[in-house]
Amino acid sequence: MEVFKIILLIALIVCAVAANLTKGLLQTVVIFMAYSSVMSLVWILMESPDLAITEAAVGAGLSTILFILTLRKLRKVDEQLIGEEEEPETTE
pLDDT 10s digits, 55-68:
999 988 999 999 99
Q: 25 pLDDT exceeds 70?
A: yes
pTM as predicted? 0.79
Q: 87 pLDDT exceeds 70?
A: no
The pLDDT of residue 78 is 81
Q: 38 pLDDT exceeds 80?
A: yes
Answer whether 35's CB lies under 8 Å from 60's CB. Answer: no
- In sequence order, the 6+-apart residues with CB closer than 8 A to the CB of 51 are 43
pLDDT band at 1 (very low <50, low <70, confident <90, very high): confident
pLDDT 10s digits, 66-85:
999 999 998 888 888 887 76
How far apart, in whole angstroms, are the C-alpha atoms of residue 69 and residue 51?
25
**CB neighbourhood size of 38 (10 A):** 19
